[in-house]
Chain A
């Protein structure tokens, strides 16, 4: 069950472009993530795949068949919603078999499938309860069961975990991911949460204002971000992006720091990206500043150090360090992990090696 999106375009009546030329292929059995801030168009893409909204141009192709003009019921999809979308007046069981009943499936088959899926999501003992008596996590499991019972090979998920608390969210992440792998279904998953995108996805599409910024595996997006937007979106604390100029293998930062850097034959003004974990604190460090913020995490420490730039430098170390706000600290940027962007924000170089992936 592959899905192809070809040149999807959608413009609102007020002229605002919500989707500008979206192209991608989602392979069978893939966990495909659409991620972006609100208003980026990720939910619009999902609604276009489901057939809830008409698109202006382009085609949605499911398994080689153009379904662009088909109503939602003929697309063989199921969906999990952010607000669970459970009928409050129906029991857990009735909610789960709602679709089967709507399609007039045989009652015995309905019951058999119900038992299987209840077992899958561990809800046997709640089957006669109403959704109002369940917790958020249980409700989302019911919604998941309803999607699974339909035998649809593609499940669309629209921010299914955003209404849950942090601990439950981590649990459900694992559960959804392992169910997907166990059953081999294709999932298209919309989220604004970078952690969900990183931890669950096989492929991730990062959207910004209706445009695709980058498509790739989570680690590709993290390690080889196509531009500063992608680099800034993933990672917590966020990547440090600073204006630099490079001349004769000397990196100049804010006119105060001059660091020898081996960038072969690169000259000019750039944006330098350094992940907080790719910075080391050491007394011989060539960059120097004052600690403005400190977050002890137990297994490590997050620091912010002001070196006279617009933004302080974000540093993440894996040990507990005992510094106070106002303390002076020296650090170095690991040269082979540095990302170099043009001033427009496009990636041109990773560390000291020539960039081959674009």
Chain B
């Protein structure tokens, strides 16, 4: 009897491991191995083919911190992340508040507002590339119409970053709008009925009911948008290729440039490690808040 139980346990273990094995293999090949390899490479001097030549410790990192281009790249990444996240959040929240109202034809707006979710990065970037075009673009036409001086959106150091932020915010809107709309619609209606009876203003409703009731979702959308912003690549590649003078050279694009254009794999790996650490911090923050919230709800 006892032996049977033991045998059963062993076969259960075997089943568990065999079910886990495919995930382990896939994660191992595509996630864990590249991660470890990147970490090792970040401490190596590499040849043009990317083969390690010599262990140099943290020298790649030190070189990065002393390099102007990385400095610019890092600074514009932070500016980009801050503005694209903030603008996405404020705009999509306002859109969600507007679209949560009950009126005829509101479904049309909900569909329109969330439609950018279905547009791929490449398509969106090319669309905006046309709009930014100095000769035939929508924006230059508008400037002409208003008798304003022309702006080279994609070759001016400041305007190019603004252009990329604008494009990114537009692409983000659909997803965060939809998630926030869901959260707003889940707020119990009786809270607003209380506000109705008391004649609370629109601003008071927003501040005391809507925003507090959706704070968890706002936090989730913020973190997701933030992490996505750190990983921005397609817009940069299509609109500006990181220029002018590294002023739109966001981290992931800089990594790509160093690894596959400049063939300096060690330097690219070091930047990857830095990016990984940044994203890890935000992910951990999210898990921490989520667990804290879960524990609080359980009480």
Q: When the two chains form their complex, are residues B193 and A83 in contact, meaning their CB atoms are under 8 A apart?
A: no
Interface check B56, CB cutoff 8 A: no
- As a 0/1 sequence over residues 183 to 196 of chain B, the CB contacts with chain A under 8 angstroms (1 = contact) are 00000101101111
Do A102 and B199 form a contact, CB below 8 Å, given A52-B193, A85-B194? yes
Whole-angstrom CA separation of A85 from B193 in the bound complex: 9
Bound Cα distance from A90 to B191, whole angstroms: 12
B54 at the interface (CB under 8 A from A): no
State the Cβ distance, B191 to closest chain A Cβ, in Å: 5
Q: Does B137 make an interface contact (CB < 8 A)? A: no
Q: Is the CB–CB distance between A72 and B197 below 8 Å?
A: yes
Q: In the complex the two chains form, is B197's CB within 8 Å of A99's CB?
A: yes
User: Which residue of A is nearest B193, CB measured?
Assistant: A52
Q: In this assembly, does A88 line the interface, its C-beta being within 8 Å of a C-beta of chain B?
A: yes
B200 contacts partner chain A, Cβ-Cβ < 8 Å: yes
Q: A85-B191, A87-B191 are in contact. Are A73 and B212 (CB under 8 A)?
A: no
Write the nearest CB–CB distance from B209 to chain A, whole angstroms. Answer: 6
Q: Which residue of B lies closest to A146 (CB)?
A: B194
- Contact at B196–A71, with CB atoms within 8 Å? yes
**Contact across chains for A99 and B193 when beta carbons are under 8 A apart:** no
On whether the beta carbons of B197 and A98 are closer than 8 Å, the reply is no
How far does the alpha carbon of A85 sit from the alpha carbon of B195 in the complex, in Å?
10
Among the 9-residue stretches A74-82, A170-178, A203-211, A260-268, the one with 4 or more Cβ atoms under 8 Å from chain B is A74-82
Count, A-B residue pairs, CB within 8 A: 65
- In the assembly, what is the distance between CA of A88 and CA of B212, in Å? 8
* CB-defined contacts of B101 to chain A, threshold 8 Å: none
Contact of A87 with B208 in the complex, beta carbons under 8 Å = yes
A319 to B212, CA, bound (A): 57
Residues of B within 8 A of A150 (CB): 198
The answer to whether B194 and A79 touch across the interface, beta carbons within 8 angstroms, is yes
> Which residues of A sit under 8 angstroms from B198, Cβ to Cβ?
73, 98-99, 102-103, 150
Cβ contact within 8 Å between A79 and B213: no
Q: Identify the interface centre among A71, A98, A101: most chain B CB within 10 Å of its CB.
A: A98
Give the distance to chain A from B101, nearest Cβ to Cβ, in Å: 15
Contact B197 A88 (CB under 8 A): no
B interface residue count range (under 10 / 10 to 19 / 20 to 34 / 35 or more): 10 to 19
User: Which A residues are CB-close (under 8 A) to B195?
Assistant: 98, 102
Contact of A89 among B188, B190, B196, B212 (CB under 8 A): B212
Which A residues are CB-close (under 8 A) to B191? 85, 87
Residues of B within 8 A of A75 (CB): 197
> Which residues from chain B contact A72 at a C-beta distance below 8 Å?
193, 196-197, 199
Query: Which A residues touch B190, using CB under 8 A?
Result: 81-83, 85
Closest to B196 in A: A72
A102 touches B212 (CB 8 A): no
Q: Are B199 and A77 in contact (CB under 8 A)?
A: no
Contacts of A73 in B (CB 8 A): 196-199
User: Which residue of chain A is the closest to B211 with respect to CB atoms?
Assistant: A89
**Binary interface encoding of chain A residues 147-174 relative to chain B, with 1 for a CB under 8 A from any of its CBs, else 0:** 0001000000000000000000000000
* B66 at interface, CB cutoff 8 A: no
Instruction: Tell me if A50 counts as interface (CB < 8 A to partner B).
Output: yes
Query: Which residues of B have CB within 8 Å of A81?
Result: 190, 193-194
Residue of A nearest to B195 (CB): A102
Q: Which residues of chain A have C-beta atoms less than 8 A from B194's C-beta?
A: 79, 81, 85, 98-99, 146
B204 interface residue (CB < 8 Å to A)? yes
Tell me the chain A residues, 82-109 only, with Cβ under 8 Å from chain B.
82-83, 85, 87-90, 98-99, 101-103
Give per-residue flags for A51-81: 1 if the beta carbon is below 8 A from chain B beta carbons, else 0.
Answer: 1100000000000000000011111011101
Among B193, B196, B204, B213, contact of A88 (Cβ-Cβ < 8 Å): B213
Q: How far is the CA of A101 from the CA of B195 in the complex (A)?
A: 11
Report how far A150 CA is from B197 CA in the complex, Å. Answer: 10
Supposing A90-B208, A98-B208, A102-B204 touch, asked if A85 and B188 sit within 8 A by C-beta, the answer is yes
The CA of A77 and the CA of B194, in the complex, are separated in Å by 10
Contacts of A90 in B (CB 8 A): 208
Taking the nearest CB of chain A, how far is it from the CB of B188, in angstroms? 6
User: Can you list 8 A-B pairs with a CB-CB distance of less than 8 A?
Assistant: A73-B198, A75-B197, A79-B193, A81-B194, A85-B188, A87-B191, A87-B212, A102-B204
Q: Which residues of A does B touch, CB under 8 Å?
A: 50-52, 71-75, 77-79, 81-83, 85, 87-90, 98-99, 101-103, 146, 150
A75-B197, A79-B193, A79-B197 provided; 12 other pairs, C-beta below 8 A? Answer: A52-B193, A71-B196, A71-B199, A73-B196, A73-B197, A73-B198, A85-B190, A98-B208, A99-B194, A99-B200, A102-B199, A103-B199
